Amino acid sequence: MAHVSIYLNFMGNAEEAFNHYKKVFGTEFSAPLMRMGDIPPQDGAPQLAEADKNKVMHVALPILGGMQIMATDMVESMGHKLVEGNNFTICLNPDNKEEADRLYNELSEGGTDGVAPHDEFWGYWGTCKDRFGIRWMFNISK
């Protein structure tokens, strides 16, 4: 079923933050925590620094009223830099690829930083910043 979640970016302390949130909300991660070192090698992708392999690639935690927060650690060695405004993303999880594509096409119009939805090892994914400066993610998990 389609749902919305908030995606948070951290500079190396996502696990600490989410362990705190887990205690605050009295809930458990909705899936096992994934680390950057869990990412399968990608052709042409830069090599991940050893120091970054333990950083959080993805974590998800239900909070209140069916809402879920998710997060990742930004990887400075890969050019990621946390600045106010890119520390959160509204994550849309539509029911199918066609709806993900429609949402992407309409939200990315006039925007920047777009990565059209496409197949990844975990599912169908894309992202953009709309013309109002809001970051959106489109994700359909396998």
Domain ranges of the chain: 3-37+51-141
**CA–CA dist 129, 64 (Å, integer):** 26
**CA–CA dist 104, 125 (Å, integer):** 10
Q: Which residues are 72's β-sheet partners? A: 9
pLDDT in tens, 71-89: 999 888 777 777 766 678 8
Which of 56-60, 77-81, 93-97, 104-108 bottoms out in mean pLDDT, i.e. has the lowest?
Answer: 77-81
Is residue 72 within 8 Å of residue 82, measured between CB atoms?
A: no
Tell the CATH superfamily of the 3-37+51-141 domain. 2,3-Dihydroxybiphenyl 1,2-Dioxygenase, domain 1 (3.10.180.10)
pLDDT of residue 114: 92
Q: List CB contacts of 79: < 8 A, sequence separation 6 or more.
A: none
Tokens 């992407």, residue?
Answer: 104
- The tokens for 59 are 């974590």
pLDDT in tens, 16-56: 999 989 998 899 999 899 999 998 878 887 788 888 899 99
